[in-house]
């Protein structure tokens, strides 16, 4: 949201809160959320070249840095966190030390993946078109 003004940030937070409160995500089991996160990781890996190109154009970072620092790291996070999503039910569990371990569901708030292009418009009409096409394609994936 680098290009957003305070009103844009407020609108994003309001939309995220409504999506969380009223959308399907909080009603899904951890296993279902994990399946979706794994699919997201696969999409990021499958479209890594395209995301690297857009990220490089968007922030001016060399593509050679975008792949390992942004794209592969993001895919790795989408692969790591599904394991954590599955037991998020408030249950206690056994751990190998003398301690009590439990999970509490505390949504972290609004977040944005660092490797996905911001939706704000730029001075470059070609980049704006590429972003628009990328988001439309993702909406139908």
State pLDDT tens for residues 45-85: 999 999 999 989 988 888 888 888 889 988 988 888 887 76
Model pTM score? 0.55
Name the H helices within the chain.
6-22, 30-46, 48-59, 63-66, 72-85, 125-139
What per-residue confidence (pLDDT) applies to 128?
A: 65
State residue 51's pLDDT score. 93
pLDDT of residue 115: 47
Stretches in the chain below the pLDDT threshold 70: 1-3, 85-128, 131, 135, 138-141
As a whole number of angstroms, the distance between CA 49 and CA 106 comes to 34
């Amino acid at each position: 949201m680098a290009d957003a003004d305070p009103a844009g940030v407020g609108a994003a937070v309001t939309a995220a809160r409504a999506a969380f409160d009223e959308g399907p995500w909080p009603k899904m089991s951890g296993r279902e959320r994990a399946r979706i996160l794994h699919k997201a990781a696969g999409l990021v890996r499958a479209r890594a070249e395209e995301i690297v190109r857009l990220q490089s154009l968007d922030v001016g970072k060399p593509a050679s840095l975008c792949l390992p620092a942004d794209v592969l790291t993001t895919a790795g996070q989408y692969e790591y966190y599904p394991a954590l999503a599955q037991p998020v039910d408030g249950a206690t569990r056994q751990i190998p030390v003398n301690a009590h371990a439990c999970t509490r569901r505390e949504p972290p708030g609004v977040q944005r993946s660092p490797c996905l292009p911001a939706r704000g418009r730029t001075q470059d009409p070609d980049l704006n078109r590429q972003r628009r096409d990328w988001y439309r394609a993702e909406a139908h994936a």
